Amino acid sequence: MTPLGHRWLGAAWLVLVMTAMAAAQPSLSGFVALDVRGFPHRPSFPQQDTNQVLPSFLLQPEFYYDWPNGNNHLTVVPMARLDFSDDRRRRFDLREFNWLHAAPTWDVLVGIGKVFWGVTESRHLVDVINQTDLVEDSDGEEKLGQPMLRLALARDWGTLTFFVLPYFRQPTYPGGEGRLRPPLLVDTDSAQFESSMEEWHPDVAVRWSHALGDWDVAAGYFSGTSREPRLTLDIRDDGEPRLIPVYDQMDQASLELQWTVEAWLWKLEAITRWGNDDRFSAVVAGFEYTFFNLLGTTLDLGVLGEYLYDGRSASAPGTPFENDVFVGARLAFNDVGSTSILAGGIVDDKSGATFALIEASRRIGDRWTIELEARAFLNVPSTDLLYSVRKDDYVQLRLSRFF
Amino acid sequence: MSEHTPRQMQPTNRRRSGRLPRWMCLLLIALLPLAAAAQSPEEQKGLEISTEADQRDLGFGDSVASIEMILKNANGQTSTRELRLNTLEVPDEGDGDKILSVIQSPPDVRGTALLTYTHINEQDDQWLYLPALKRVKRISSANKSGPFLGSEFAYEDLASQEVAKYTHRYLRDEPCGELQCFVVERVPVYKDSGYTRQFTWIDHDEYRFWKVDFYDRKNDLLKTLTFSDYRQYLDQYWRALILDMHNHQTGKSTRLSYTDLRFRVGLTEADFTRNALRRSR
């Protein structure tokens, strides 16, 4: 689509939305948060902010409009981040801006939306629709809003969902001053695309999901712009080295399985991906077992174990999860404040490189929450993708007010 | 990656879901004289009372409810939870109800939803929807005695109260308020219960529950549940709109009240699919 066509579409969309909003019942929710990150180590690169305590703010309201007959809904979720050190974390994004029409056995969604595929905890291998928002969180669970047309059909034999994704978004990368970044600046403005349509290549996807007794199964297919770029080294005219992201076209078939029996969850995610004259497969498989009412108390203790394999070649976009093991534990207090703690680590089978994490949260009163998040990168050898962030261990305290 | 949400939210007592199939009840009643050697007259009468209470709740179809829970600790500090609860009676006699519950408050977990397919002879199927991640996750339904949303209600208190989950024994008649009640002792036979036994007070007139005393695993009195503000729906179904649970050991209490309750609003199977869960609010 031409930029002009794009603009017209945008204007038509806005008119539609404004008309609709006038007729609908609005509601507002969301939260505002203060994040304080503490970095115990000095940064690896000279440009990086040497302050060891870095505060930032996050605002994420949700406007929701419901039409009187209950079948049409408009959701608008903007987010704004104010960061004092990294200019690429000073930004605004539309997480959602979509219209949903829901009929009993089908629904259609148009606009910017978010979709989750998958069953495992340590890595979201099959989750291919939305782009990862790396500057928000390094764990890959924060996503950018994705423009889409989504049609879901709910049938006796499962739910079939079709996606048309008319516009591609690049992942976010921290700026030069930011922590948790690659060794060189990623120059997203100079990104290269295999498709001549660049970001406007229409990507398509389909997913079937079904529950059969104790089994939940899903199969997906995606064809379009790879969400992960290859990062190639380039020297700017002024002699400054940089990384240029290159986005190949790819096809990916995926499978998700979960077997739930008593307190056990057994999980599997697998993909096979081809494109750029390469083909590889990857798997995450594991379990989660919960000891409910631990030792006669109201505590629940969940233990998690997952094995991660990725068979990609060196020419494919890099991953730190070639052959890794994840172990973790989740403690839920089941108290008034919903206190919970999650701790775990992903360990590389060969090098012993470890990504360790702790996440804890509790509610204070009815509208406040406090969350602690700690991440550490241990024993990272220079050959590992995580080498550039090896000094970026941090502890983050988040205080949120919900409204 | 962190998430913490309830795995089961069926805040109705005297729920009809997953009871004995009707033919089995008839069979049981028919066989009662034969079982007399194994079953005392008190056990016979206890089962009859519980079965009658259960039978009177058949055929409601579907319902939507708004629920408020006020949690109070021993110092009197309170905390509020709001839920929406949709229920579909499954006519298939071998199976239990389908329940969709959505948390409305506190706001940090607003929109978190749980879909439950209750079953009689096997564990329930449960899917949790986490709105921040847009993730639908199948979860274990093995928890029974844990607290529901931090309240004094355990999951098993709010789950279906089907006859076959207990053995029953009639103890005596005694007045309960202005009414006359049967007092029936019941002992959970399902796995993982936090109780050794319960005493239930059921009135003679309409077979409504008025009070339940819960005894913990050490056989000490743990909690008392009282029912009040009974209303009749569709000229047939009695529902208590206020349920008070008091914990004698901790001094904490929870009041669960229905702020809205409507029957036969036209819900269908399609409103209880995982796809419907994904778009619930």
Domain boundaries, chain B: 22-278
Q: Are A260 and B139 inside 8 Å of each other by CB?
A: yes
At B124, is the pLDDT very low, low, confident or very high (cuts 50, 70, 90)?
A: confident
Residue B21's pLDDT band, with cuts at 50, 70 and 90, is: low
Q: Residue B22: is its pLDDT beyond 80?
A: no
- What is the nearest CA distance from B163 to chain A, expressed in angstroms? 22
Residue A19 has pLDDT above 80, yes or no: no
| pLDDT for position A4 | 53
Please tell me the distance in Å from B108's CA to the nearest CA on chain A: 6
Judged by average pLDDT, the poorest of A105-109, A374-378, B8-12 is B8-12
**Of A258, A249, A255, residue with least CA distance to A283:** A255
Cβ separation A336–B145 shorter than 8 A: no
CB A93 within 8 A of CB A145: yes
- pLDDT tens per residue, range A99-110: 999 998 999 999
Task: Name chain A contacts of B106, Cβ cutoff 8 Å.
Answer: 363, 366-367, 402
Interfacial B residues in 187-246 facing A (CB < 8 Å) = 192, 194, 217
- CB < 8 Å from B in window 317-356 of A: 330, 332, 334-340, 342, 344
Decide if pLDDT at A87 tops 80: yes
Confidence of residue B5 (pLDDT cuts 50, 70, 90): very low
Angle between helices B22-31 and B41-55 in degrees, nearest 10 = 160
**pLDDT for position B13:** 39
Count of CB atoms within 10 A of residue A207's CB? 23
Q: Please state the separation of Cα B167 from the chain's center in Å.
A: 17
DSSP string, A39-100: --SPPSSTTS---SEEEEEEEEEEEEEE-TTSSEEEEEEEEEEEESS-GGGSEEEEEEEEEE
pLDDT above 50: residue B18:
no
Residue type, position A136, single letter: E
Choose among A287, A285, A317: nearest CA to A302.
Answer: A287
Measured CA to CA, the distance from residue B210 to residue B226 in angstroms comes to: 6
Question: Is the N-terminal amide bond of B106 cis, ω within 30° of 0?
Answer: yes
| Model pLDDT, residue B38 | 63
pLDDT score, position B11: 42
Residue B213: strand, helix, or coil: strand
Structure tokens at A85: 């050190």
Give percent of chain B above pLDDT 90.
65
Residues A351-358 have a mean pLDDT of 93
Strands (E), A39-70: 53-66
Task: Write down the mean pLDDT value for chain B.
Answer: 86
pLDDT at B122 over 90: no
Examine the pLDDT at B49 and tell me if it is beyond 90.
yes
Domain B22-278 fold is: outer membrane lipoprotein receptor (LolB), chain A (2.50.20)
C-alpha triplet A162, A168, A171: angle, nearest 5°: 120
Structure-token pair, residue A129: 């629709």
Q: Do A290 and B143 touch (CB under 8 A)?
A: yes
Q: Is A137 on the interface with B (CB under 8 A)?
A: no
pLDDT of residue B120: 72
Distance CA A121, CA A303 (A): 12
**By CA distance, what is B123's nearest residue in A?**
A262
User: Which DSSP string corresponds to A141-192?
Assistant: --B--EEEEEEEEEETTEEEEEEEE----PPP---TT-SS--SS-B-GGG-E
Radius of gyration of chain B (CA): 18
**Confidence band of A376 (pLDDT split at 50, 70, 90):** very high
Query: By mean pLDDT, which of A15-19, A32-36, A145-149 is the weakest?
Result: A15-19
Q: Is A260 on the interface with B (CB under 8 A)?
A: yes
pLDDT at A335: 92
> Which of B142, B143, B275 is the closest to A154 by Cβ?
B275
What is the rounded average pLDDT of the residues B202-228? 96
Chain position carrying tokens 């274990």: B140
Q: Please compute, for residue B209, the number of CA atoms within 13 A of its CA located in the half-sphere on the CB side.
A: 28
Q: Which domains does chain A have, with CATH numbers?
A: 3-402 (2.40.160.10)
**Predicted pLDDT of residue A296:** 79
* pLDDT (0 to 100) of residue B93: 66
Distance CA B215, CA A142 (A): 46
Q: Does residue A88 sit in helix, strand or coil? A: helix
Query: Beta partners for B243?
Result: B227, B256
Q: In the prediction, which pLDDT does B2 show? A: 41
Which are the contacts of A232, defined by CB distance < 8 A and separation ≥ 6? Answer: A243, A244, A246
pLDDT tens for A275-326 read: 988 899 999 999 999 999 888 788 999 999 999 999 998 888 888 888 999 9
Q: What is the mean pLDDT of residues B148-171?
A: 88
The 3-state DSSP class for residue B275 equals helix
pLDDT at site A264? 96
